[in-house]
Amino acid sequence: MGPGTVAMTGAAGTIGSVLREALRADAERLILVDRVPLRPAAPNEEVRAADLRDATAVAAALAGADAVLHLGGLPDEAPLPELLDTNVLGTHHVLEAARRTGIRRVVLAGSNRVTGFHLVGHLTGPDEPVRPDGLYGVSKAAVEALGRLYADKFGLSVLCLRIGSFERVPTETRHLATWLSHRDAVGYVRAALAAPPVPGFTAVYAVSANTRRYWELPAPAALDYVPVDDAETHAADIPGADLAADPAAPQGGPYARPECTLPHLPHPGAGP
């Protein structure tokens, strides 16, 4: 059975732009939600403008959907108030709209950076403690917590994809472990939307079948998708690929360094 009417927030973003073509081939109707202008490109596409920070606008944008793919939000390190406002409150608005309107399936765009301080030498599973590598990772940990709350308390069916390094091809040594190909991203999302909407919360790593990966692939009971691409096929084009990774280094790589977060912290005496 197809996913029916699917609403996709963040439809104009990097991932949304790639997924759009695949999902409009699957869905009876695809509702594209973003705050930037979009135009429908197929008869079954519908565009609805909404700012995630506006609960009323989000509820109106998701009206009539059977499932929601929530991709919208700030995609990288930023000041915590901005991340809370867009990523956390925005997700709350999406989940609350789903609760109120009876949307049967919510797929959240999580991030591998909720566990960026686990070590490279440790194969990490989704049930292990979160160890965010920055403020962005903290916001995505809160997104997962909200998803779990709405599943436990209100019976929603919520699946969180901890997305890897979404790139057309891997271009740096960390990508040899973290790459998520466009093809596998489509596969993960299709499987997430097609899964029976059983009440509960599940988190899985959305990563390609990389030889050097340090995250567990989903168990079939959690998500019925087996990735097909491997960053190793591009290793010859990546400088430093022949050097062994430090098993005691954090998985977040540069995102775990203080200089990634320091520019986004408040400076006492700098004014409001």
Q: What are phi and psi of 47, to 5 degrees?
A: -105, 130
Residues 126-154 as b or e (16 or more Cβ within 10 Å = b):
beeebbbbbbbbbbbbbbbebbbebbeee
From 136, 150, 188, 205, the catalytic residue = 136
The verdict on whether 136 is a catalytic residue reads yes
Q: What are phi and psi of 53, to 5 degrees?
A: -75, -10
Cβ neighbours, 10 Å, residue 59: 17
Burial of 237 (0-12, 13-18, 19+ CB in 10 A): exposed
Cβ neighbours, 10 Å, residue 167: 18
d(CA 212, CA 109): 23
Q: Which residues contact 253 (CB under 8 A, 6 or more apart)?
A: 116, 174
Burial of 103 (0-12, 13-18, 19+ CB in 10 A): buried
- Indicate which residues carry an active-site annotation: 136
